[in-house]
Amino acid sequence: MSLADLPPLREALERHDLMARKSFGQHFLLDLNVTRKIARLAQVGEGDTVIEVGPGPGGLTRALLETGARVVAIEKDSRFLPLLAEVAEVAEGRLELVEGDALKVDDAKAAGGPAHVVSNLPYNVGTQLLINWLTGPFRPLSMTLMFQKEVADRIVAQAGDDAYGRLAVISQVLCEARVVMDLPAKAFTPPPKVASAVARLVPKADPPPAEVIGALERVTAAAFGQRRKMLRSSLKALGGATLCERAGVNPDARAEVIDLAGFLSLARASLV
Ligand code: SAM
CATH number of the 210-270 domain: 1.10.8.100
What pLDDT does residue 125 have?
A: 96
**Which one has a higher pLDDT value, 272 or 257?**
257
* pLDDT tens digits for range 120-132: 999 899 999 999 9
- Whether ligand 1 lies within 6 angstroms of the CB of 26 is answered as yes
List pLDDT tens digits, range 228-266: 999 999 999 999 999 999 999 999 999 999 999 999 999
Q: Do the first three CATH levels of 3-203 and 210-270 match, i.e. the same topology?
A: no
Tell whether the model's pLDDT for residue 179 goes beyond 90.
Answer: yes
CATH number for 3-203 (one of 3.50.50.60, 3.40.50.150, 3.40.50.720, 3.40.50.620): it is 3.40.50.150
Query: Residue range 51-74: average pLDDT?
Result: 98
Residue 56, annotated ligand binder?
Answer: no
**Which residues, in sequence order, are CB contacts of 176 under 8 Å at separation 6+?**
201, 202, 204
Extents of the domains making up the chain: 3-203, 210-270
Q: How far is the CA of 28 from the centre of ligand 1 (A)?
A: 9
The pTM of the full predicted model, rounded to 2 decimals, is 0.96
Confidence of residue 1 (pLDDT cuts 50, 70, 90): confident
- Does ligand 1 come within 6 angstroms of the Cβ of 49? no
